[in-house]
Each structure stands twice: as structure tokens, then as C-alpha cells.
């Protein structure tokens, strides 16, 4: 009981002060920090005025070191970069990562741990929270201080303000679309935050779990990533076949856009499920979202309604998608898309 009391007392005093120390779990690829992880740094910076942000990176090889250099200079709030360099982290498996977060948290005593709400964060953070015996706050879209967060509920139909009253650390997944990364000027002459290696000697083989990386299957495409694209072109069930769905892909190519799909289109096998937008797919908020033959079910809207400009084409004037659309066209997509393809200039 005494142990718990002192833990709780420590927690109260760390949250009572305005300062916070936040650990951001970052993803990297090809020597660069992925864009959603930069949003997590922006979110971490808004937890308190006086926040010191540490970035945790794991992996192996030279691309990890390049990513660490980028992390060190990515935002003025970053005070240190922690690097776990080991073959155990060659792939972002949840089990070793969760153990790593537990190890780093036990040494660093951070008040907050933040990751994005993509598959990386959703996979790792709840597992790490269980190891640290705290409840995570997920899908945060607004931060109003060290303990107060806004998150969507009922498939995004309502926003709920929650106050975190659990033990430290407060662990959050944040929606990257809600924390856009502004152009940040970091003193180019400075080397950035110090980079240090995490001592992994206590992470033995048995303690990191039994999951194994087998392979990554992903479409080899030049199209932008759906989660961070400026323009998304989405097709729904109305496309009727995978063959017809190629019209959406052609249009996306001409616009330099990512391709999205409704769950009905994915379930019908027109496209792989990594393209699904919505409550059980990806959350996107591009500058332009074009929806063709999409009814606008609430589960789909939950993934795209924060887009800046929404264009919808549907032959049913009463389709719910028109309630969120900035520009709506009542028409047949099999006429509209070929016309658009004809009128848009070649890339
Ligand atoms: P439909 O609802 O069948 O709509 C097709 C639309 O195309 C209609 O509005 C029709 O008027 C229009 N149309 C037909 N022909 C043409 C034409 N020639 N030209 C123009 N318009 C035409 N859905 C998601 O998308 N993402 C999710 O993440 C998701 N998660 C879910 C989670 C749960 C728990 C549940 C229960 C459901 C979820 N769904 C999700 C499914 C969702 O409820 C809808 O069933 C789905 O979004 C409908 O897809 P759709 O708009 O393509 O198809």
C-alpha cells in the first residue's frame, strides 16, 4: 500500500506542475522519420508549455542512424533522441517494442508517452500500457493540458473530453491528421538534440515475446501514402468490379492522389483492405477528398469528414455523403469519371 501511495503521490506532483517530459515513439523508413510520427512530436509539444520531448527510435543499421539525425533536428522541442539499435527491432513488432517502452520508461520516468493512432501506435502502445499498468487514452484529436484530452466516440459522431486521473505515465495515441506539422525552422548550424543509445543488456531473448516477422506484403506503387496524401480519390461499391475500379486509379494518377475505398468496395474484392477509409480503416484529412459512388455511411464519414474540401459524385440526390460534401454532383460515375479523365491534362 505504501509503495502505491508514494507512486500516486509522485504522479500527483508530476502532473500538478506545468512541466512535462514526454516520450514519443517514432516510426522511420529509409532513414527518415515518417510524417505521422512528426505529428506525434507536434502533439507532444502541446501537452504543456514547458515540455521536454524525447524521441525513441528502434531498428538496426545505417538507416536508423540517419533517422536519428533527422529526429534530433525535427522540432525545437526535442531535447533528446534515444536509439535502440538491435536486430530485435529490425521490424516494428509489438512485443519487443512494448518491452523496450517499459524499459525506457522505467529509466526515464516520463510523465507522458505518445504514439500515433496508425497501426504502429495501436499495436505497441496498449501493450506497453499494460506492462506499465496504466490505461491508455486513444485517438486523441485535441490536447487541452497535461491531463485533458478530446477524443471521438460513437464512430466520430460526438467528441468526448476526458480527464486522465490514472498513474504516471499518461499514455496517448494521437490522430496525426489533427496535429499538422507546420514548416518548422530549426537552427541549421545546430547539431540538434543529443542522440544516445539505449542500454539493451537487460532485454533478454525470452522477455521479448514469441512473435516473428514473416514478410511484408504491400502494393508496389508510386502513388502517395493514403494516410498523408494531399488528395484522395475514393471509390465505393457502385464501381461494381475490380476492373471498373481502375478508373479511380487512373484518376488518382492524373491528380497525383492516393486511392481510397469504402469497406463495401474492399469486401467485394475490388481493392486490398489497406485502402479502406473509415472507422475500421484509415483516418484521412487531405486537402481534397473525392468520393465516387460512396453512400456516406457514418462508419465511412468517421474516416474522412475532416478533409478540407469534399467532392462527392452520386446518382442518388439523397445520399448522406452530400451532407458533408462541399461540392456535390448528382450523376452517374460511369459518365463523370471518363469525362474528367478526358478533360484533365496528361501528367
Ligand atoms: P453503398 O452503401 O452500397 O453505396 C453505394 C452508393 O453508390 C449509393 O449511395 C448509390 O446511390 C451510389 N451509386 C450507385 N451506382 C452509382 C453510379 N453509377 N454512379 C454514382 N453513384 C452510384 N465502411 C467504410 O467505408 N469504412 C469503414 O471503416 C467501415 N467500418 C465499418 C465498421 C462497422 C462496425 C460497420 C457495421 C460497418 C462499417 N462500414 C465501413 C460499412 C458501412 O456501414 C457501409 O456499409 C459502407 O461504407 C458502404 O459502402 P459504399 O458507400 O461503397 O456502398
**Rounded distance, CA 221 to CA 192, Å?**
34
Residues within 6 Å of ligand 1 by CB: 236-238, 262-265, 276-281, 293-295, 297, 299-300, 303, 313-316, 319, 332-334
- pLDDT-derived band at 181 (thresholds 50, 70, 90) equals confident
pLDDT score of 223:
85
pLDDT in tens, 282-302: 999 999 999 999 999 999 999
**Rounded distance, CA 178 to CA 138, Å?**
13
**How many A from CA of 321 to the centre of ligand 1?**
10
Average pLDDT (253-267) is 97
Residue ID of nearest Cα to ligand 1 atom 29: 299
pLDDT score of 11:
40
Average pLDDT (127-155) is 96
**Rounded distance, CA 40 to CA 55, Å?**
10
pLDDT in tens, 182-218: 776 555 556 789 999 999 988 877 667 778 889 877 7
Asked whether the predicted pLDDT for residue 9 surpasses 60, the reply is: no
Q: Which ligand 1 atom minimizes the distance to the CA of 235?
A: 52
Q: pTM (2 decimals)? A: 0.81
Residues annotated in the binding site for FAD, as ranges? 237, 262-263, 276-280, 293-300, 314
Average pLDDT (42-70) is 93
**How many A from CA of 298 to the centre of ligand 1?**
9
Residue ID of nearest Cα to ligand 1 atom 9: 295
Q: Give 259's strand partners.
A: 233
CA distances from 39 to 13, 94, 172, 175, 186 (A): 28, 21, 13, 8, 16
DSSP 87: G
Q: Smallest Cα–Cα separation from 277: which of 327, 337, 225? A: 225
Task: Return the minimum-mean-pLDDT range out of 38-52, 129-143, 237-251.
Answer: 38-52
Residue ID of nearest Cα to ligand 1 atom 31: 299
pLDDT score of 190:
66
Residue ID of nearest Cα to ligand 1 atom 38: 299
Q: Which helix (H) or strand (E) holds 253?
A: helix 242-255
Q: Smallest Cα–Cα separation from 272: which of 232, 242, 295, 293? A: 242
First to last CA, the chain: 68
**Rounded distance, CA 287 to CA 308, Å?**
5
CA distances from 307 to 65, 227, 288 (A): 35, 12, 6
Pocket test for ligand 1, best of 279, 303, 317, 339 (most atoms within 8 A of CB): 279
The CB density around residue 217, as the number of other CB atoms within 10 Å, is 7
Residue ID of nearest Cα to ligand 1 atom 17: 332
Residues 6+ apart with CB under 8 A from 216: none
Asked whether the predicted pLDDT for residue 275 surpasses 90, the reply is: yes
pLDDT score of 184:
64
pLDDT in tens, 106-135: 999 999 999 999 889 999 999 999 999 999
Could you give phi then psi for residue 311, rounded to 5 degrees?
Answer: -115, 130
Q: Smallest Cα–Cα separation from 232: which of 145, 331, 312? A: 312
pLDDT score of 88:
87
**Rounded distance, CA 168 to CA 8, Å?**
8
Alpha helices in 185-228 (DSSP H): none
Residues across the chain: 347
Q: Which ligand 1 atom minimizes the distance to the CA of 280?
A: 28
Average pLDDT, the chain: 90
- pLDDT-derived band at 327 (thresholds 50, 70, 90) equals very high
Asked whether the predicted pLDDT for residue 169 surpasses 60, the reply is: yes
Asked whether the predicted pLDDT for residue 179 surpasses 60, the reply is: yes
Amino acid at each position: 500500500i505504501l509503495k502505491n501511495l508514494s507512486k500516486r503521490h509522485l504522479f500527483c506532483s508530476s502532473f500538478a506542475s506545468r512541466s512535462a517530459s514526454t516520450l514519443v515513439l517514432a516510426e522511420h523508413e529509409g532513414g527518415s522519420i515518417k510524417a505521422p510520427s512528426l505529428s506525434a512530436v507536434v502533439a507532444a509539444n502541446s501537452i504543456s508549455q514547458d515540455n521536454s520531448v524525447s524521441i525513441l527510435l528502434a531498428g538496426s543499421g545505417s538507416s536508423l542512424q540517419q533517422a536519428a539525425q533527422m529526429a534530433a533536428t525535427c522540432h525545437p522541442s526535442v531535447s533528446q533522441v534515444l536509439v535502440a539499435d538491435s536486430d530485435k527491432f529490425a521490424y516494428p513488432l509489438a512485443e519487443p517494442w512494448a518491452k523496450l517502452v517499459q524499459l525506457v520508461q522505467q529509466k526515464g520516468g516520463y510523465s507522458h508517452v505518445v504514439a500515433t493512432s496508425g497501426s504502429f501506435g495501436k499495436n505497441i502502445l496498449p501493450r506497453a500500457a499494460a506492462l506499465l499498468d496504466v490505461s491508455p487514452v486513444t485517438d486523441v484529436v485535441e490536447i487541452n493540458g497535461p491531463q485533458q484530452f478530446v477524443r471521438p466516440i460513437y464512430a466520430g459522431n460526438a467528441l468526448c473530453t476526458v480527464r486522465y486521473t490514472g498513474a504516471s505515465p499518461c499514455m496517448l495515441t494521437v490522430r496525426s491528421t489533427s496535429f499538422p506539422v507546420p514548416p518548422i525552422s530549426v537552427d541549421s548550424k545546430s547539431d540538434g538534440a543529443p542522440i544516445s543509445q539505449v542500454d539493451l543488456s537487460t532485454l533478454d531473448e525470452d522477455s521479448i515475446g514469441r512473435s516473428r516477422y514473416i514478410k511484408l506484403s504491400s502494393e508496389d506503387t508510386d502513388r502517395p501514402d493514403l494516410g498523408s496524401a494531399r488528395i484522395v480519390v475514393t471509390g465505393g461499391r457502385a464501381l461494381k468490379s475490380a476492373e471498373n475500379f481502375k478508373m479511380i486509379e487512373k484518376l488518382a494518377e492524373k491528380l497525383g492522389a492516393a486511392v481510397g475505398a469504402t469497406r463495401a468496395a474492399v469486401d467485394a474484392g475490388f481493392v486490398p483492405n489497406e485502402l479502406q477509409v473509415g472507422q475500421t480503416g484509415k483516418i484521412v484529412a487531405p486537402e481534397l477528398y473525392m468520393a465516387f459512388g460512396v453512400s456516406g455511411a457514418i462508419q465511412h464519414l468517421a474516416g474522412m469528414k475532416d478533409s478540407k474540401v469534399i467532392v462527392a459524385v452520386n446518382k442518388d440526390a439523397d445520399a448522406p455523403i452530400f451532407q458533408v460534401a462541399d461540392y456535390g454532383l448528382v450523376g452517374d460515375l460511369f459518365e463523370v469519371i471518363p469525362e474528367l479523365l478526358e478533360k484533365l491534362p496528361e501528367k
